[in-house]
Amino acid sequence: MSYNKIIKYNKKTSKKLGWDPEWLGCTEFNQELIDKIKEFQEEHDLDVDGYLGPATHRRLLLAHEAENEEKTGILIDGETHFFEWDKFKLDLIKPGCYSKRKRTRHPKMIVTHWDVCSSAAACKRVLENRGISTHFVIDNDGTIIQLVDTNNVAWHAGKVNSRTIGIDISTAYYLKYQKKYTSKGLPPKPVLTDSVVHGVKLKPHLGYYPEQIEAYKALISFLCAHYKIPLECPRNDEGKLLTKVHPDAAKARFKGIVNHYNLTRGKIDAIGLKLDEILDELKK
């Protein structure tokens, strides 16, 4: 069979048997994937032909399950995709708080929020009461809670919802809520004193636990790789994080990661999250 027929065959078995090119370290159905299949077949004493049929699939499935036994599974279009993080919970928000999509969605921007709540559980309750949603919320201990399948549209950022993924980082923001954390046996939240947004310096406020930042890095790394979203954020003329509205982001024309305040002057979240430094580190 020709190259095109091999590709067609593998696409068909992918849908029928439920495997993904990512299982072999690929992102597309192309010659690289065929070569990876052949390498796998040779390593496991199978017929080396590049066709991922039932026999190859059985061996690949066993290897995939063993490899991902301890990994986190994110729900994307009804299927579980794995990434490296050891604290994860699937806790889907109630229907009516988001829009379901039948066709495959291709988001090109991630919007970061804070929830002004002291925990992820409180964040979910508030969202459901308001009839809105976000895709993920990161709890105080770094646990990532998924509320909405990323192929569905969460209601978190107005007119750009359909082209974005929403991530909330749980923090109560106001200093008066510091005791909520310490009363639960948690360490004090970092206090940020130099935040400036839309040209205005804010009063000191609560920031983010280091565990939350590490979880955020792991999550955006995976999402950007899966959806081919650039590891970029709005920057000023000096190359630093832009802390005001970015016109292209506000119109969903920007490809990358933004804070909510980059979309509208009516928001200040997630100020204090140093996106430029985080992305520069991830690109190394």
62 and 171 fall within a common domain: no
pLDDT level of residue 68 (50, 70, 90 thresholds): low
- Tell me what pLDDT residue 221 has: 95
256 and 223 fall within a common domain: yes
53 and 166 fall within a common domain: no
Q: Looking at this protein, which amino acid is placed at residue 15?
A: K
Q: Which domain holds residue 161?
A: 72-282
The tens digit of pLDDT for each residue in 205-226 reads 999 999 999 999 999 999 999 9
Q: How many separate domains does the chain show?
A: 2
50 and 184 fall within a common domain: no
149 and 26 fall within a common domain: no
pLDDT level of residue 82 (50, 70, 90 thresholds): confident
Query: How many residues does this entry show for the chain?
Result: 284
**Interatomic CA distance for residues 33 and 20, integer angstroms:** 10
- Tell me what pLDDT residue 70 has: 54
- Tell me what pLDDT residue 210 has: 97
Strand, coil or helix: 54: helix
The tens digit of pLDDT for each residue in 99-122 reads 999 899 999 999 999 989 999 999
178 and 255 fall within a common domain: yes
**Interatomic CA distance for residues 172 and 252, integer angstroms:** 28
160 and 260 fall within a common domain: yes
**Which CATH number goes with the domain that contains 61?**
1.10.101
Q: Is the dihedral of CA 191, 179, 203, 232 positive or negative?
A: positive
DSSP tally for the chain: helices H, then strands E: 8, 14
**Interatomic CA distance for residues 82 and 145, integer angstroms:** 14
Q: Any idea what the Cα angle at residue 260 is, between residues 257 and 266, rounded to 5°?
A: 155
pLDDT level of residue 67 (50, 70, 90 thresholds): low
Among 18, 43, 67, residue at a domain's last position? 67
Quote the tokens at residue 44. Answer: 């496991």
pLDDT level of residue 69 (50, 70, 90 thresholds): low
Please name which of 83, 116, 96, 118 lies closest in space to residue 215, comparing C-alpha atoms.
83
Contacts of 67 (CB under 8 A, 6+ apart): none
49 and 25 fall within a common domain: yes
- Tell me what pLDDT residue 3 has: 81
Give percent of the chain above pLDDT 90: 82
**Interatomic CA distance for residues 76 and 96, integer angstroms:** 19
